[in-house]
Amino acid sequence: MPVTDVTKDLDAMTMTVTAELDAGAERVWEMWSDPRQLECWWGPPSHPATFVDHALVAGGRAAYYMTSPEGQKYHGWWRFEEVDPPTMLRFEDGFADEEGKPAKGMPTTIATVTIAESDGTTTMSIQSRYASREGMEQVLEMGMEQGITEAVGQIDGILAG
């Protein structure tokens, strides 16, 4: 499994997932920039993702849903704030209703992805910064840590294929 560390800091309201990947930075960037590749790993194995919109440019948006084994759909959205291929992207991430509109009463996060290549391998970190401790605790209770760890854990298989 490529995940090497998960660090939660409730005081700073951050969770950072770090992975070591056996690929160059450009290849890892493709895992974010191509929505069909993103679908292969963004949801945990039990809840695969489907991206219905994906404009990876500053000011662009993405819309997706994850499907449970029972067929229930969980919608989400991203608003890209900064895009610097192949080393960094920052986006606001939130839950959505069935029409893709931000879900009321649900927390959002600012996700910062950094991609750094060294000697043919790449370290990717995803830091999620929450607006409140309560929001962070809410998504942790929903299983966010396990879900993102399982999701990122699928990347090695995709890179090998």
**Residue 143 pLDDT greater than 70, yes or no:** yes
Rounded to the nearest angstrom, the gap between the alpha carbon of residue 103 and the centroid of all alpha carbons in its chain is 18
Domains by residue range for the chain, with CATH: 3-156 (3.30.530.20)
Provide the 8-state DSSP code for 103: P
Give me the chain's average pLDDT, please: 96
**Rounded CA gap, 77 and 72, in Å?**
17
User: 106, 75 in Cβ contact below 8 A?
Assistant: no
Q: Give backbone dihedrals phi and psi of 127, rounded to 5 degrees, phi first.
A: -100, 125
Classify 32 as helix, strand or coil: helix
- In the chain the first and final C-alpha atoms are separated, in Å, by 15
Q: What is the pLDDT of residue 99?
A: 87
DSSP H/E element including 72: none
Q: Cis omega (within 30 of 0) on the bond before 86? A: yes
**Rounded CA gap, 101 and 77, in Å?**
8
Quick: pLDDT tens for 40-71.
999 999 999 999 999 999 999 999 999 999 99
Quick: pLDDT tens for 96-130.
998 889 999 999 999 999 999 999 899 999 999 99
What is the number of residues in the chain?
A: 161
Q: What is the pLDDT of residue 1?
A: 59
* pTM of structure: 0.95
